Chains A and B, each alone.
Chain A
Amino acid sequence: MYKYILRRLIQMVPVLLGATFIIFAMVFALPGDPTAGMCGDRPCSPAFVAQFRTEHNLNDPLPTRYAKYMVNLSHGDLGTNFRGVKVAEDLKQRYPTTAKLAAMAIVFETVIGLIAGVLAGIRKGKFIDNLVLVSTLLVIAIPVFVIGATMQYYLGVKWKLFPVTVSSGATFYELLMPAFVLGSASIAYAARLTRTNLVENLRADYLRTAVAKGLTRRRAIGVHALRNSLIPVVTYVGADFGGLLGGAIVTERIFNIQGVGGYTFTSLHNRDGVAVVGTVTILVLVFLLANLLVDLLYGVLDPRISHD
């Protein structure tokens, strides 16, 4: 077990290095000088440009910059962004917000997705099954920003059911609607995944045996079928956590959430490479750890799996 975890952790190193390098190289290759946009329609004074470039190591070639960055990173230093603020500080302020948003989206995804999926699964071919099928399809088919903007306008501005935007405190209530929007596509996937697996397990021999032995149908489904159907859902949800962090770019923009998505987007436009790479590094790390956690959870859900 520990050997397995260790191996997985070691495997993460090249992935992390590779992903950060790709991002770093792309940021490096971005056209446009970071100082070009800083003085409006007037070019900045050469003295300012020179000082700025030295201060932020903009004159070094790519490998040098990457190496410098990695050395600092290994000391836990994510660097300083163009506004002179430590990236780590910015992220400390912003990651919890996005994490909260993503976690709430995951809860929505799991709860609504599971309930809808189970209902559809045990009533296969009936009305509720078709309803779930159609509604999940619709959610996947509409781009997330359309869902977001429409919900914001009708539920927030027009009918005043939910706060329109999220304040810097990002309270639970404020995040409800954004989290639902962020998780909407995943809710659809989770529901369909649950349904497919449940239907399959309901036909399995062990379930027939269980019912034949005298178990109530409710217990047979609840304990046996559902547990086995959960495994792919858990994988999906786990892998989705990292994706949600990245996908938050759109949601954060619509609902004015002070999270990492908006931070990355703004930094990118300002050519603030250090901030972008720092954010993505953490993002990739969280993604990898979430995946590891999911795999470990596997062993708990399915005793046939062991990580030795």
Chain B
Amino acid sequence: MRGTTRTVAMVAGVSAVTLLAAACGGGDKGSSGSSSSAAGKTGGAVTVRGCNPQNPLIPGNTNETCGGNVLDAITAKLIHYNPTNAAPENDIADKIESSDNQNFTVTLQKGYKFHDGTEVKAKNFVDAWNWVANGKNAQLNSYFFEPIEGFSDVQCGDADCKVKPKADKMTGLAVKDDYTFTIKTTEKVSNLPVRLGYTAFAPLPDSFFSDPKAFGEHPVGAGPFKFDSWTKNTEIKLSKFADYKGKFPAKLDNLTFKIYQDDDAAYNDVIANQLDVIDTIPSSALIDDKYKTDLPDRNLSKPVGVFQDINFPPSKVDPAYADPKVRQAISMAIDRQTIVKQIFNNTRQPATGWVAPVVDGYKANACGEYCTFDAAKAKAKLDEAGGFKGGKMTIAYNADASHKAWVEAACNSIKTALGVDCVATPVVDFATFRSKITERKMKGMFRSGWQMDYPSIEDFLAPIYKTKASSNDNDYSNPAFDKLLDEAAAQTDAAQANAKYQQAEALLANDMPVAPLWYGTAQFGWSDKVTNVKVTPFGTVDLTSLQLK
């Protein structure tokens, strides 16, 4: 969920030039993660572009990239995602075992230490998860613990939390010994281990629980970097954790997140070698691939786990879009190729389905002909549905990020192909935009996007299209789809689970709850000083492998 929230963080940084490309973008499809393989040296200090964390730096309360990037460097989790292909690898976990996808036994590696010197033990996980999940603590990331048995008992009885939770601890978590604990989920979850690499699942040291507020200002983790200082609005300083015993040690001695409000500013500093790494290239430099000439041999474009789409309104809000044929017609009327080329300068990849290609379980062309531009077929489809009965079509977007250009282009494409007027409609900012959507007051189509929380096909389907799922903005409900998801979750074999998820995805083509547009790619740039810049499928820089030349 970080990616979409990044739009909010971006408001601060929406540059003088707010048009093309948003937080993420990208190009060369097949490029590997690594930049230059020149052997770098160990040690030294590097500056990386940062932005202002929106919340105190607590893993359970950080859901945007500004704070998330910092916490990722500081914390170690059970699982570490491979920076190249996002495959989960054990980090603190020695092994995670389950025979039924419902009862998991986690065994920890010995020797991991927090930055305060205490050892990472099973109770640091269990206590941390119970604390984050507890409704009283009102943590933004509490929903990650929803699958664990007893989650509902630690939620507040009412919205204002006047009725306190029934329990303090989730029954599904139990400490066996210092290095072993068990997880029991309410329903079968086939990909639970994959999820455990998200920041929200980081262990917390004992000192956290006595003063969470102080922790938020000075976080303590078990990761390769330790937190040194945070000068608000200016910089966050980290340094190498000398006592780190894990498999992914830092190569740098010092790492500084320099906080920028504006992407153009950071970009210009990288050109001038004043800043070492940026994770967004401003839209002004994307036009005609200008960044490739500005930063020769020190730029990279890589696909990331981002999916963007046009959402159709729930039929009870706006019945004009209720007919799947109308939706399919609209989807076929959008010339994705040309928009990606002209508006995004090929920094997107036209979508052929609902799941981003970077995850395990991705299957190309799930959407088929409905995601292929064909004006004549689109018009025929609309006629088959009896035409559009809502007067003019609209696509709403939040005006505080750079969406205007592509929404307008999509509308023009629809207008030309279908002969129905289409207007790109700005909503003043993201807060208002989301309010209108969640209150089900948004008439007409609206833009939306999804950045994966963890690299799994499930994360692109269940939270968005399952009946009453948390991000099901158009009230899509298909019992067959739900059933396939449940069956997939029960599969102990990953390949079989993926096959079920793919079957579910195929159903979406008939119902077309949202029209897929494109997958994200991210552009990066770096200074002459650094090497070995690896970009993760999450669109972040792998800070442990980063080196000076």
Which chain A residues have a beta carbon within 8 Å of chain B's beta carbons?
Answer: 30-34, 36-52, 54, 83-85, 89-90, 93-94, 145, 148-149, 152, 156-157, 164-165, 168, 253-256, 258, 262, 266, 269-271
Contact = CB atoms under 8 A, between A and B. Distances in A.
A37 B12 contact: no
The CB with the most chain B CB atoms within 10 A, among A30, A90, A152, A157, is that of A157
Nearest to B3: A40
Interface in B223-265: 232-235, 259-262, 264-265
Interface stretch (B135-143, B179-187, B362-370, B385-393): B135-143
B7 interface: yes
Contacts of B214: none
A32 B268 CA distance: 35
A94 B52 CA distance: 15
- Give the top 9 A-B pairs by smallest Cβ distance, nearest first: A32-B432, A40-B5, A256-B265, A40-B4, A37-B431, A165-B265, A51-B138, A256-B262, A32-B431
Given A47-B136, A145-B16, A36 B262 contact: no
A43 B142 CA distance: 12
B431 A36 contact: yes
Nearest to B4: A40
Contacts of B5: 38-40
Contacts of A83: 52, 54-55
B161 A254 contact: no
Given A36-B434, A269-B430, A48 B1 contact: no
A51 B434 CA distance: 19
B3 A266 contact: no
Contact of B435 (A31, A41, A42, A254): A31
A269 B54 CA distance: 13
Given A41-B434, A45-B138, A52-B138, A270 B463 contact: no
Nearest to A55: B138
A31 B382 CA distance: 35
A50 B261 contact: no
B159 interface: yes
Interface in B148-163: 155-156, 159-161
A202 B5 CA distance: 63
B206 interface: no
A94 B232 CA distance: 11
Interface in B426-470: 428-436, 438, 448-451, 463, 470
A82 to B, nearest CB: 8
B12 A262 contact: yes
B260 A256 contact: yes
23 contacts: A31-B432, A32-B429, A32-B433, A34-B431, A36-B435, A40-B3, A40-B6, A41-B448, A45-B135, A45-B138, A45-B139, A46-B156, A50-B138, A51-B138, A83-B55, A85-B232, A90-B233, A94-B233, A145-B16, A164-B264, A165-B262, A165-B264, A270-B8
B110 interface: no
Contacts of B429: 32, 37, 269
Contact of B63 (A40, A49, A164): A40
The CB with the most chain B CB atoms within 10 A, among A32, A34, A44, A49, is that of A32
B268 A164 contact: yes
Interface of B: 1-8, 11-12, 15-17, 52, 54-56, 63-64, 135-136, 138-140, 142-143, 155-156, 159-161, 232-235, 259-262, 264-265, 268-269, 272, 400, 428-436, 438, 448-451, 463, 470-471, 473
Contact of A38 (B140, B265, B269, B449): B140
Contact of A32 (B8, B259, B435): B435
Contacts of B156: 46-47, 50
Contacts of B17: 149
Contacts of B235: 168
A149 B16 contact: yes
B282 to A, nearest CB: 11
Contacts of B140: 38-39, 44-45, 48
A34 B434 CA distance: 10
Given A41-B449, A47-B135, A258-B261, A253 B16 contact: yes
The CB with the most chain B CB atoms within 10 A, among A31, A36, A157, is that of A36
A41 B233 contact: no
Contacts of A30: 432
Contacts of B63: 38-40
B261 A262 contact: yes
Nearest to A53: B160
Given A32-B428, A36-B430, 5 more contacts: A32-B429, A36-B432, A41-B449, A41-B473, A253-B16
The CB with the most chain A CB atoms within 10 A, among B2, B5, B450, is that of B5
A159 to B, nearest CB: 13
A45 to B, nearest CB: 6
Contacts of A152: 16
A42 B54 contact: no
Contacts of A37: 8, 429-431, 433-434
A253 B136 CA distance: 39
A46 B159 contact: yes
A150 to B, nearest CB: 11
